[in-house]
Chain A
Amino acid sequence: MPSSGSILPELDTDPVLHLLLTGQARTAAEAEEMYLNASLAEVLRLLEGPLSDEELGRHPLLVMYRRHGSRGWEDSLG
């Protein structure tokens, strides 16, 4: 859980960074995987909110789900 009054404010607002800097994850990729595994409730909250499909598609959490998921054909061009 994020701690309040951190020296680094990002620790309180960035859950992925929090996992990394508190030693719960060894790499950024691992931290993002852990975060995504724990974020279903947040996704449901977003879906029930006022954001449009386009806005949801651009939301950082949902962008992260796509980035960590099944590859699209454009990935083969990289």
Chain B
Amino acid sequence: MNPAHRLAEIVTALERVGLTVLVMGGHAVRYYGIDRNTIDYDLHLSPADWDDLGLRLDQSPLAAGRPLTRGPSWRPGSFQRFLLGRLPDGRDEWLEFWRNNHLLPPFADLYGRREEGTYGGRPLAFLSLPDLIRSKETERETDWQDIAGLEEIHDGRLLHQAVTGTISVDQALAQLRSRRGLESFLQGGSLNDPAVVRQALAQTRLSITQAILLPSAGADASPPTASVPMEPVVVSRLRTVAPASPLHLALIEVVRRQYKLAMQNADGADKQAIRGAQTNPPPDNPRSSR
């Protein structure tokens, strides 16, 4: 059985015991169009299903009459993993659940903007593409490699949606992240009207998108404060540089790298804090003697 069909089989088994999930991780990356290998099953679970997750899994067809082995988790309140068995090549087959991911909004928001599509022979619910990209802004370099591909795919979708009128041009521009996206929208004339570009600029706090749009927004354009602010001298130059010129493209990458480093540092600090709390629990914690 190939991994996609195996995931579909797993989700079917989960639904039989009333569990609601969104697919994330490697299988979501594959669904959106990047060919890569993955042997884990990463799912975001509805919080309502969290407390008796283990019990329900043990009652599901996945357990085959014996309780599933719980794996280690250094975020036990947010993340659980269960050993399904062994793959033909001897590697472990893990099923992993997030209750709340530190990079993402609540499940209800994620579920409300999910994407449903056929995968492994049946319809499955996936994290939306923007949410999947956000979920991968971690300290791991491989996640950023996925992001690079996913950004291009998302920008391609945005172009199609803008051309067909599904979304407005400014809404599409407000989500751009890739160089190919910039070049496509520029070639299509979507960056020719500074008023439209300023409307887009007003909708985004992502520095990468702001760096993409600023040269086309007019010299007096003033974007909202970015979540990872750009250096003032970079912003000044972006206001005057020619769109998609070699310098513009280079400055986008300077800003992108600054954003990536900030996200990697934030994720690393978050993990350090959790590990530190587990190593040195507060003195008034009644379980600190464990």
- How many residues of chain B get a CB closer than 8 Å to chain A's CBs? 30
Is B256 touching A69 in the complex (CB atoms < 8 A)? Answer: yes
A57 to B248, CA, bound (A): 8
On chain B, the residues within 8 Å of A14 by CB distance are none
A31-72 interface code vs B (CB 8 A; 1 in, 0 out): 000001100100110011000011011100011011011111
Q: Looking at the complex, which one of A36, A44, A65, A68 makes contact with B233 (CB distance below 8 Å)?
A: A44
24 A-B pairs in the complex with CB atoms less than 8 angstroms apart: A40-B257, A44-B231, A44-B233, A53-B237, A53-B241, A53-B247, A57-B250, A62-B246, A62-B251, A62-B254, A63-B250, A66-B246, A66-B250, A69-B252, A69-B257, A70-B152, A70-B178, A70-B252, A70-B253, A70-B256, A72-B179, A72-B180, A72-B249, A73-B180
- Contacts from B to A (Cβ < 8 Å): 148, 151-152, 177-180, 183-184, 231, 233-234, 236-237, 240-242, 245-247, 249-254, 256-258, 261
Is A53 touching B256 in the complex (CB atoms < 8 A)? Answer: no
Which residue from chain B places its CB closest to the CB of A69 in the assembled complex? B253
Smallest distance from the beta carbon of A47 to chain B beta carbons, Å? 5
A65 to B179, CA, bound (A): 13
- Contacts from A to B (Cβ < 8 Å): 36-37, 40, 43-44, 47-48, 53-54, 56-58, 62-63, 65-66, 68-73
Is B250 touching A65 in the complex (CB atoms < 8 A)? Answer: yes
Is A70 touching B241 in the complex (CB atoms < 8 A)? Answer: no
Contacts A44-B231, A44-B234, A47-B237 given; does A73 touch B183 at CB 8 Å: yes
Contacts A44-B231, A70-B148, A73-B183 given; does A57 touch B257 at CB 8 Å: no
On chain B, the residues within 8 Å of A68 by CB distance are 253
On chain A, the residues within 8 Å of B249 by CB distance are 66, 69, 72
Interface core residue of B180, B241, B253 (most chain A CB under 10 Å): B253
A40-B257, A72-B180 known; 15 new pairs, CB 8 Å cut-off, are: A43-B234, A44-B233, A44-B234, A48-B233, A53-B237, A53-B245, A56-B250, A65-B253, A68-B253, A70-B152, A70-B177, A70-B180, A71-B148, A71-B180, A73-B183
Is A69 touching B179 in the complex (CB atoms < 8 A)? Answer: yes
On chain B, the residues within 8 Å of A47 by CB distance are 233-234, 236-237
Smallest distance from the beta carbon of A4 to chain B beta carbons, Å? 29
On chain A, the residues within 8 Å of B236 by CB distance are 47
On chain B, the residues within 8 Å of A71 by CB distance are 148, 152, 178-180
Which residue from chain A places its CB closest to the CB of B180 in the assembled complex? A73
A48 to B245, CA, bound (A): 19
Smallest distance from the beta carbon of A34 to chain B beta carbons, Å? 12
On chain B, the residues within 8 Å of A65 by CB distance are 250, 253-254, 257
A73 to B261, CA, bound (A): 25
Smallest distance from the beta carbon of B248 to chain A beta carbons, Å? 8
A19 to B222, CA, bound (A): 39
The 7 nearest A-B residue pairs measured at CB? A57-B246, A69-B253, A62-B250, A70-B179, A57-B247, A65-B253, A53-B247
A72 to B180, CA, bound (A): 5
Smallest distance from the beta carbon of B27 to chain A beta carbons, Å? 24
A53 to B240, CA, bound (A): 9
On chain B, the residues within 8 Å of A44 by CB distance are 231, 233-234
